[in-house]
Structure 1
Amino acid sequence: MMPATFSKSTKMSEILTDENGKTYKICPECRERFHRRKGILDKQFTCSINCGIIRGKRNGAGKKGDGPFSKICSECGARFYRSKYVIDRQFTCSNECGFDRKKRINAVPRVEVKCKDKKCNNEFQVYLASTERGIVKVYCSEECRYKNIEKGEIRECLHPKCYEIFYAPLSRTKKGQAKYCSIECHCKDQIDINRETRKHGMVSMYWQGCRCAVCKGAYSKYLRQKREGMYQNRKFDTFNVPTNSKICVCQYSKCDIEFVETKARIENGWGRFCTKQHHGKFLADQARKSREHGTEPMYNHGCRCEACRDAKSKYRNQRQQIQKTKGPFRLCLYSECNNKFVADPSEIKRGWGLYCKHECSAKARSEQAHKARKHGTIAMYSHGGCRCATCKKAQSEYQRRRYRQKRRLNNVNV
């Protein structure tokens, strides 16, 4: 914007008119011209928010290092700046907007209500809209409300790990409620109680982590009852224990849970642990016990003593001797790899053992597939990206063939 030309006698708050007849003002901070509507121009003194903040600082807003504070007028929508102690009590930018706000508030219909305090029967006004919604002030003041607070008793939370003391009103203590200080303590205590009453053949035991045959049966029964149309008949009863089962104890040292397992699984050597996690922990403990100085597992665990180093070297020599006796050395058939490797004789008989790694075999196959791509094939259409007439024809024939196969399968199933 071009800076305005004005004389020294021109006041910054005056409303001026330009050549086209539009009203404008001159910003007292940056001395630039700004145009607004006549209703807003009466209440606005600066061209932008930045200039308004500077003006607020200059006029005393934000003393004691608090900075300028602003609000939006509830009537005209204009932003105004005041000090920290004034802006909390002010809702409008000027006296005119303040009068408009009072008129609007007084025009809202109200109802007279009596205070519920027996000693105080003062009548006070409440908005009609709040009474219709069910939100009604019961007491005329906070003094009356504090006088009539419901009587109760001080209790200690029933959760064993919580020692907080709280205030319980009589209306809740008569109903047998208010035993815990918060909802969290109530939920935690209920979970602990349910954990003690969990049995095999219940859904809660399945959720805890047990995957025995009885708990799986209870969970499948729960899922069947949970389907549509069966919500009313849902029951969390136990699942019947089958006759060909046995109660076992988990063999993990830190677990004493009893679970039900079928006899067939026990005869096969399974069903010794309640969960897969405990089975893994049991194997880890056994491996930890087998770690002794002078063994290869102890070297892998991190020990570098002379005995462990000798054990590791013996293990490597044994592995090398085994690899030498496996079969003859071969060259990798991949064009970019010429590594020598020992092939297993059983793999050579089957026609395998041509590549040193899986990566080399995958790369060799991709090269062969790339060479086999010709015009008029599906590979050229899908992988090569060719869209010539012959490749399109091959793709359409392939789709027709697939569609006929699906039709035949559907007819057979019917």
Structure 2
Amino acid sequence: MAKSKSLPLIAVEHDALPDSLGPVERHWAKANGFSGQRGRLLALPGEGGTISGYLFGMGKADDRPALLLGQAAAALEPGRYRLAGSFGDPSLAALALRLGAYRFDRYRKPRDPVAFDVVEGADAAEVSRLAEAAFLARDLINTPANDLGPDAFEKEIRAFCKRHKLEIKVIAGEELLKANFPMIHAVGRAAAEAPRLVEFTWGKAKDPKVTLVGKGVTFDTGGLDIKPSAGMLLMKKDMGGAANILGLAHAIIDAGLRLRLRVLIPIVENAISGPAFRPGDVLRARNGSTVEIGNTDAEGRLILGDALALADEESPELIVDMATLTGAARSALGPDLPPLYATDQELAQQLMTAGAVSDDPLWHMPLWAPYDAMIASKIADVNNAGASAFAGSITAALFLKRFVKQAKAWVHLDIYGWAPEARPGRPFGGTDQGIRAVYGYLKQRYR
């Protein structure tokens, strides 16, 4: 559609109707009690009963989510729009519009899109790569397990690698045992589709090594410690860590950051059948440590343990893992604020700062060493769950930390990967978390 046919979406500060409005539009706004209230969308009347544009309230500057304009994009009818008025940083505004207009239409009749003209002053390439990264993660998380089991997930990653012209390596089934990934194998061996470890790299070998690891549990029954139905309902999202790692990898590659990127994604379905691993089993991990199984529903940390051990072997400058790991993280911080654990305190602060700028919040949590006793085992080096109900997110992070010894720094994000309620820039459903925060930090460090 030509730019001349796009309707204006006019961003309005609190109590500051723009001078560009004509007398009829100003009267209409006042008659409808519109004064720029945060999140309010008001259609402007045109000739013959048409709509000539929209006003959108930005509210007060000190009480405004960075992606507030995403709320407008979610509420608009299909069509093309151009942003005007007072909207702050143009790139952030353009990104908010793109993220807010997202819809997952794979299983329903697609709706005509809500599209926007290029926002003047915005970094169009940056906006596109971050929107594409988020949509990649959202689409994968929203896809149910019957269409995204281990085989299909591998195909999606292969397609990703083909788009970016990358070589991919996959170790699957019994080959995992031969290659010394026993915990990945144990968690996934009961499923109809084989467990596997997917790996790809990008960048120049001489550049600083950054490794991303994502939990790829395509569905989690809980194993023999089976989840109740309510707890199992959203478990298609248990590969949300891997989905977000792929989105982050896309942003890094598309931006051409000066680093050597390695991505490791262990993929399993935690199913129940004769070969399922059991409570009380003792597994030997890739790094040689032994793990007593206190709960088969604490499976994500097992597959991550093997993958982190592999990542650690080449002593990278930074390892970042993402995982939909614990319900305790949601109890502590809710669905919108993922816990951040790091072995470098300054790095943790920089990640939080990058997330705050891009409305991708993280919250630094402690790797509190005394809590390591909570996952002690009387017969093995460690228990994967422990007996205590306290500090579940912290003890899970401490478990993972055991597999990182040589990397200069390690970051763990215990994400939720799901928006239970729509909010600006994040429609209901599978969502991106951690992508913009980590990318923003890496861009500053390795541009």
TM-score, with length taken from structure 1: 0.19
Structure 1 or 2: more strand by fraction = 2
> Greater Rg, structure 1 or structure 2?
1
Higher relative contact order (CA 8 A, sep 6+): 2
TM-score, with length taken from structure 2: 0.18
